[in-house]
Amino acid sequence: MVPGRTRRRSLIQLAGAAALGALAPPRLAEAEPLSDPERARLAGGELVSVPFDLNLPEGDYLGGVSYAVVRARPAEVMAVLADPDAYRAILPMTLETRLIARRGRDATVFFRQGTRLGSAGYVLLVRTESDTTVRFWLDASRPHEIADLWGYFRVLPWTASSSLLTYAALLHLDFGVVKLLFSQKIREIAMTTPGLIRAYVEGHPRLGTPP
């Protein structure tokens, strides 16, 4: 992890998260450029994660940005990110996903995440915004057992046969015991997402570049 109050602030840019609701995705600004040590860690197969928090009138948001290098071309990684059938495999603690609707580059997807001891269901709007970016945000017009969630995936070339995957997200929990006891654990688990995506893509017989 790379802490730092200044860096965390520079990662965040609001676009009226509460007011926009389901109309348009809230925005997270671009993360600062990776440092040489971070790039070296990524080249060595590590995940690089930066935690950050945000205080809004609606409540406290926790989240971060996490990176991984995937041995596959960007188009192959993006195909997985746009496929709701893959979400159970590539998103941590996902018990159930169900495609509700698809319109052009937008998908409405139901999620249930957690463990056998407890889980939360909600619906995300998932937008393939470009050839490099997928954004997601909570559809607050539908029943939801979390207060808010939004973020993005970005996939850019790393080498001729590999990609740099960026995952950024902010989560707002509004129920006491879970928020008190498990917020940091939820963040840690969420930041492993690029690693799960890498394992899925590189392990897929039709995707990725052999080691």
The mean predicted confidence, pLDDT, of the chain is 80
pTM over 0.75: yes
Rounded distance, CA 206 to CA 163, Å?
16
Q: What percent of the chain has pLDDT over 70?
A: 76
Domain-by-domain residue ranges, the chain? 5-203
Helices 193-203/74-81 angle, 10° precision: 110
In this predicted structure, the answer to whether residue 63 has a pLDDT above a threshold of 90 is: no
Task: Name, in order, each residue with C-beta under 8 angstroms of 127's C-beta and a sequence gap of 6 or more.
Answer: 25, 105, 106, 107, 134, 135, 136
Contact between residue 28 and residue 151 where contact means Cβ atoms under 8 Å apart: yes
**Helix, strand or coil for residue 115?**
strand
| Beta carbons within 10 angstroms of residue 104's beta carbon | 7
- Between 20 and 133, name the one with better pLDDT: 133
In this predicted structure, the answer to whether residue 195 has a pLDDT above a threshold of 60 is: yes
Output the CATH code of domain 5-203: 3.30.530.20
